[in-house]
Amino acid sequence: MLRPLYTADEMRAAEQGHDVEAMMERAGSAVAETVLRRYPDARRIAAVCGKGANGGDGRIALRVLAEAGRETGEELDGADVVIDALFGTGFHGAPRDDAAGRIEQINGAGVPIVAVDLPSGVDASTGEVVGAVVDADVTVTMHGPKVGLEVGPGRFHAGEVEVAEIGLEPAQTEHQLVTEEILRLVPRKQPHDTKYSAGAVLVVGGAPGLTGAVCLAAEAAFRADAGYVAVATPPASFPVIEARLLEAVKAPLQRVDELAERATALAIGPGLGRGEEERALVRRLLAERTMPAVVDADALFELEPADWPAPRVLTPHSGELGRLLGEESRWVDAHRLEAVRRAADRYRCVVLLKGADTLVAAPGEGVLVSNSGTPALATAGTGDVLTGVVAAFLAKGVDARLAAAAAAFVHGRAAELVPHERGVVASDVIAVLPDAFG
């Protein structure tokens, strides 16, 4: 269900008491094997090696490659492949000028780059990148994936990641990677279920001109196997949504409390609008309703922390999270792990930070990372789809933190199943959601 993601300190702890030379031999051999397997026609392999253990791994890789009949050395000119063994897991901050120059030379070689453990310039424990950084095609990481290989911006410099075993036992880690096994936590409909016991969702939103958002969220909740979905929308939008949604119960916003009586989870915000009345409605529903709620889009606007009576899941993108924290979106993009943890602590609830590396944080808990999905999710409406899925899982009684992580995973998996790569729209993701459960 969850796989370890290692920080630098956790890797050091895992390595304690083991034969360092034996581990380096395994690591260097694994790097060499990857080069030979992926680039069988490469005749000359160069490595840029630092002074620490990472550099030692690189030198062992060169020795093994030489034994396999390849030309090796540390001169980049004429190389067919470059091994980046400059910095290891202990690196943090910005590379010094001389190291930054070597990184630029690696990137400028114009040939495939294989990074040892992680690309030089990436912080293993956070994914942060402060200065120059290697843009690897492949990263061979030892023992298990590092946080910096799965969390942006580090993950965007890692290329394809291979894990090499070096003789260590798995260990408990603070942060974890979500796997498809998490979907086993989502209850399936049973013979004794009714439409209400299978999960009843109320979606609140859909101002004029924004009706698509609430429709997508409602449809996604159904496709995520909710038994009952209702929509409360402004009166002016009611005719549009009545015509667009077939299976959902629809009612004007004035009846939201009546609809809430049947719901086991709320989804607040898709297309709601940001006026004072809408913001007051968000505050009231979150303060009064004792079922779990997912809070997205317009409902996040000017949201303040409160003592909410039930679990709340906030689902911002980086711009929305920046506003919640009083930071610029580019700061969030550069410090994603720190940002999502700060938000979870400030709002005292689960926070799901959307992105290629979707991060789920809860107060006092490690961050869960979901890496399923494709760039096709970068299209309007897919966030509303995710909101509907989270709401369906909450309605089925799944713990809020795990519901958010499971929803992120299945949402990404659905995007992977869409048969076309270009021109994907949110409705395409909804259509394949049932298949994404496996």
> Does 152 share its domain with 184?
no
> Does 151 share its domain with 202?
no
> Which band of pLDDT confidence, cut at 50, 70 and 90, is reported for residue 433?
very high
Residue 361, pLDDT above cutoff 90? yes
CA-to-CA distance for 394 and 403, rounded, in angstroms? Answer: 6
* Residue 395: per-residue pLDDT: 98
Average pLDDT of the chain is 97
CA dihedral over 210, 218, 221, 230, signed as positive or negative: positive
**In this predicted model, what pLDDT tens digit does every residue of 200-236 receive, in sequence order?**
999 999 999 999 999 999 999 999 999 999 999 999 9
Q: Which of 173, 202, 218 is the last residue of a domain?
A: 173
> Which band of pLDDT confidence, cut at 50, 70 and 90, is reported for residue 80?
very high
Gyration radius from the chain CA atoms:
24
Decide: 336 and 122 in contact? Cβ < 8 Å: no
* Residue 207: per-residue pLDDT: 96
Domain that holds residue 259: 180-436
> Does 163 share its domain with 193?
no
Could you tell me the CA-to-CA distances from 20 to 16, 27, 33, 167 in Å, in that order?
9, 10, 20, 11
CA-to-CA distance for 58 and 84, rounded, in angstroms? Answer: 8
CATH code assigned at 390? 3.40.1190.20
Number of separate domains in the chain? 2
> Does 192 share its domain with 142?
no
**In this predicted model, what pLDDT tens digit does every residue of 32-68 receive, in sequence order?**
999 999 999 999 999 999 998 999 999 999 999 999 9
The 3-class secondary structure across the chain, one letter per residue, is CEEEEECHHHHHHHHCCCCHHHHHHHHHHHHHHHHHHHCCCCCEEEEEECCCHHHHHHHHHHHHHHHCCCEEECCCCCCCEEEEECCCCCCCCCCCHHHHHHHHHHHHCCCCEEEECCCCCECCCCCCECCCCCCCCEEEEECCCEHHHHCCCHHHHCCEEEEECCCCCCCCCCEEEECHHHHHHCCCCCCCCCCCCCCEEEEECCCCCCHHHHHHHHHHHHHCCCCEEEEEECHHHHHHHHHHCCCCEEEEHHHHHHHHCCCCEEEECCCCCCCHHHHHHHHHHHHHCCCCEEECHHHHCCCCCCCCCCCEEECCCHHHHHHHHCCCHHHHHHCHHHHHHHHHHHHCCEEEECCCCEEEECCCCCCEEECCCCHHHCCCCHHHHHHHHHHHHHHCCCCHHHHHHHHHHHHHHHHHHCCCCCCCCHHHHHHHHHHHCC
> Which band of pLDDT confidence, cut at 50, 70 and 90, is reported for residue 415?
very high
Task: Quote the percentage of the chain above a pLDDT of 90.
Answer: 99
Q: Which of 129, 157, 173 is the last residue of a domain?
A: 173
Residue 438, pLDDT above cutoff 90? no
- As a whole number, mean pLDDT of residues 150-167 equals 97
> Does 334 share its domain with 198?
yes
Could you tell me the CA-to-CA distances from 246 to 66, 231, 260, 311 in Å, in that order?
67, 11, 20, 30
Q: Which of 149, 173, 197 is the last residue of a domain?
A: 173
The tokens for 381 are 């409406």
> Does 234 share its domain with 330?
yes
> Does 395 share its domain with 260?
yes
* Residue 283: per-residue pLDDT: 98
> Does 265 share its domain with 369?
yes
> Does 140 share its domain with 195?
no
> Does 148 share its domain with 17?
yes
Residue 174, pLDDT above cutoff 90? yes
> Does 385 share its domain with 257?
yes
Q: What predicted TM-score, i.e. pTM, was given to this entire model?
A: 0.96
CATH code assigned at 115? 3.40.50.10260
Q: Indicate left, alpha or beta for 231 from its phi (over 0: left) and psi (-120 to 50: alpha).
A: beta
> Does 337 share its domain with 199?
yes
- As a whole number, mean pLDDT of residues 423-433 equals 98
* Residue 227: per-residue pLDDT: 98
* Residue 277: per-residue pLDDT: 96
